[in-house]
Chains A and B, each alone.
Chain A
Amino acid sequence: MMSLITDLYAYWISVLLMMVGLYIVIDHNNLFKKLIGLNIFQTSVFILFISMGKVDQGTAPILKEGFETFSNPLPHVLILTAIVVSIATTAVGLALVVSINKYYKTINESEIQAIEREEA
């Protein structure tokens, strides 16, 4: 039972982060904090990917004499791309939040909904 936790600790961490992130996205009223939640959520996936690339006793995948076992570099490369995507998403999201703040004078979701209901 313990080994399930200790051996797979990387997965537990990523699951924990994922849930924390999703919870923030769903629960928070503040649009900005939602984006932070989204980032945590995405980061958990990055950790998941990177941890699966790890090979026991493997080193960084650099060719050098004396090293035979390497970690799998492909997940790193994939995640590098995913990180860039996540940066872009965050940038777009932040830009939206800033604009929302400009036009609604608030970034609180329930307040915005109240304003929209008033309009309708």
Chain B
Amino acid sequence: MSLFTNILASLYVPLLGAVLIFFCRRFPHIIEIIFVASAAVLLFITFSIFKFGSAIYHQTFELYPLIADIPLAFHVEPLGLVYAAVASSLWLVTTIYAIGYMNANQEKKLARFYMCFCIAMMGVMGIAFAANLLTLFIFYEILTISTYPLVAHKENTEAKNGARTYLGLLLTTSIGFFLVSILWTWQVSHSLDFTIGGILAGKLSDGLMLVLFTLMIVGIGKAGLMPFHRWLPAAMVAPTPVSALLHAVAVVKAGVFCVLKITIYIFGIDLLQSTSANVAIVYLAALTMLLASLVALQQDNLKARLAYSTISQLAYIVLGAALATSASIIGASMHLATHAVGKITLFFCAGAIYTVTKKTSIKDMRGIGYQMPFTMFAYTIAAISIIGLPPMVGSWSKWFLIDGALSSGQIVLAVAFLISTLLNIMYLMPIAINAFINRPASTEPQYQEAPKSLLIPLSMTALLCLLLFFLMPYFYEFLQRIP
């Protein structure tokens, strides 16, 4: 298979999965098989791209002109490959988890659910391999629209309101800011291609460059920067697998991936540093990072707390991207992967707890470690990884991020990272500690450990948190190819 067929296949496989699921919508078992199978095939396809080596990076495949001279085009570069690999491997894990969760909770409209899941995955793959901003934008919006039915899945008033916030904010930012800034970019540079070193050098004055960069990054609502972060907690009304994959991995990571890609390939690191167009975003991201952590402290609903934690962690990546030093970029790219693995584990655990006990409130989870030891053990591992302590994988990315902040001479930001880490400990660890230290109240019914279809995926991702720590040198070497 040539590289081009590989890329196209990564788009077609989820789409084909969706179509097949649609036609088999009356047979619940068959759609589950199709669902898992398409995830497995996609994983194989994504990893087979690695075998082409580094020679094919930035080799662009144009399909046909979409608008004027701007083609629908795809390419492969290290960052996109990382994102695609993370998303597709975690997708496979999530498919298994989702089937278990949906069956255990007797959710309805499964065919629609799985279909939208597949289409969302196509959106993710398109974003990962997009070779210009227009292609990226198209798949970005496909992702937005296809996840709406997932968020509104429960179809009650709460789900409706949550989904409304979700769609409203994402569309407002993407049409109101992102699209405008893309058009502006097109107007000043007559190119939207992702190019090493950026395409905007010398095209705008410093002041306007600041406006454009701010507009574009804020416009990527999926990155969850304040004040456009409300959609993320709102989307927590969705079933947990959706929260896990889409709101800890695919959607939010699509957001920060776009931020990284635009910083590196549209503006260019050098340009950002020389014009200091990044200054507004840097401080906005730092602010988001701290504020979101503070808000997370006050949340009693476990999923809501994780959601705010995600907002805070996303701000790490945006900050890393906006700092525009090579260390911070590597740190941000790394964090994209490490946070994904960690956060998906946490969500899986939250979902497992809900499935078994129907509990969502942190107060009620006292002593739950005695009843669900595996789940809570996995939770603890993932929490440590998110906090960034060795020997978990999260420590690496945080290391590089702080290194990046220091190397750009911003001591304040390095301190902000540290404060945020402390806050991480404060909002993640008490849950684990309470679960194991306190005994459950005697009035509580005796719960069993979560079903296997939930337990296996979450143990796998927890294991990954640990394993990847040791594989990091290879990963680092790979990421260094990002210019």
A–B proximity contact (CB within 8 A)? no
